[in-house]
Amino acid sequence: MTTRLGYIGVGAMGRSHIGVFREHFAGEAEGVALFDPHEPSRAAALELLPGAKVYSSAQALIESELDAVVISSPNCTHAEYAVAALAARKHVFSEKPVATTAEDCCRLVRTADRSRYIVFIGQEMPYSPFCKKTEELLGQGVLGAVQMVWCKEFRPPFLRKVDQWIIDERFSGGAMVDKNCHHFDVMNRWAGSRPRRVAAFGSRRFNQVLGVATEVIDNASVSFEYENGVVGTLQLCMFGPDRGEDCLEMGIIGDKGLLQTQLGRHALTVWPRDRKGLQGNVVEFEADPLGGHAGFIQEHQAFLAAVRDGIRAPTNVRQCVGGTLLAIAAEQAIKRGGIVEVEVV
């Protein structure tokens, strides 16, 4: 069976999805339609999909003869288009985040729960070699019971998007909603619990591009707590140097030891609590074909398998929504200056 795909949003990310489906899964998926109001993006996409039909609206594409819709439009449109696609009896592959508001997150999850069609969220990290190796070590009990999780991302500014929508929180939902929702999701999986409350500080220090009040923050320090008592932290800097995969570090502390990522080396370091000396145990993982921690090719494979077999993928919308809701609550905590309860779906 060939899955007929329609693409809503064919900027850089949308064309990346086109490229992977076309190059790696040509016998399983076919891009037959696209919509994007930005003419240069449409022209670039048509070079990849010369036979695709161009639609004048997202709704017209959704109502056409398709099996699935791939959504890579600005974040604030994700839930609207996904709900419309489910109503039109289409499967959905939607880029992260799930949505930009808690209300839209809950609306999409509840709509998906009532539908027999799949809502797959494009969060590649659970499919990455480093996450799979980490889950393997957790399953073996190497770290014992998880007590703390963390993420540090010190990186350069956002890449440019059409009309710079990504740095306007009205369209992106905020820096952490766009950038860190999948890091929160991974930490949620490691904690094995639902995030309960969050406190955060953040501001704009250097990345003044739009010069408007809704421009996203460029730094944040976040602390959060899970229902099972595990605690976590996330630190974000968007004006750091480009150090490749070394811009990102994630880790876990359990009652038997500590795990720390070394993504640039394709390795994890495990430090057992009872170990003598200053050397940890280095555990290597397979490099991703696209480099780093990606999991990007694998997520497309998982989506097609879910459509073909009618199964819930590891990154179905109910599984992923907790990371987006935690990111939304963290953005709110910065604005309010206090502790914010994380929405429950």
pLDDT of residue 115 exceeding 90, the answer is: yes
pLDDT of residue 114 exceeding 70, the answer is: yes
What's the length of the chain?
A: 345
Digit-coded pLDDT (tens) for 55-110? 999 999 999 999 999 999 999 999 999 999 999 999 999 999 999 999 999 999 99
pTM of the full structure: 0.96
Q: In the chain, what is the straight-line distance between the N-terminal and C-terminal CA atoms, in Å?
A: 34
Q: What are phi and psi of 249, to 5 degrees?
A: -135, 135
Per the model's pLDDT, the better-predicted residue between 325 and 213 turns out to be: 325
pLDDT of residue 275 exceeding 90, the answer is: no
Q: What is the pLDDT of residue 227?
A: 98
**328 contacts 101 by C-beta, under 8 angstroms:** yes
Per the model's pLDDT, the better-predicted residue between 288 and 51 turns out to be: 51
Q: What is the pLDDT of residue 168?
A: 96
Return the SS3 of 172. helix
Domain covering 126-291+323-341, topology: Dihydrodipicolinate Reductase; domain 2 (3.30.360)
Calculate Rg over the CA atoms of the chain.
20
CATH 3.40.50.720 residue spans of the chain: 3-124+297-313
Domain 3-124+297-313 CATH (choose: 3.30.450.20, 3.40.50.10810, 3.40.50.2300, 3.40.50.720):
3.40.50.720
CATH 3.30.360.10 residue spans of the chain: 126-291+323-341
Digit-coded pLDDT (tens) for 177-219? 999 999 999 999 999 999 999 999 999 998 888 889 999 999 9
pLDDT of residue 279 exceeding 70, the answer is: no
- Name the DSSP letter for residue 198: E
pLDDT of residue 287 exceeding 80, the answer is: no
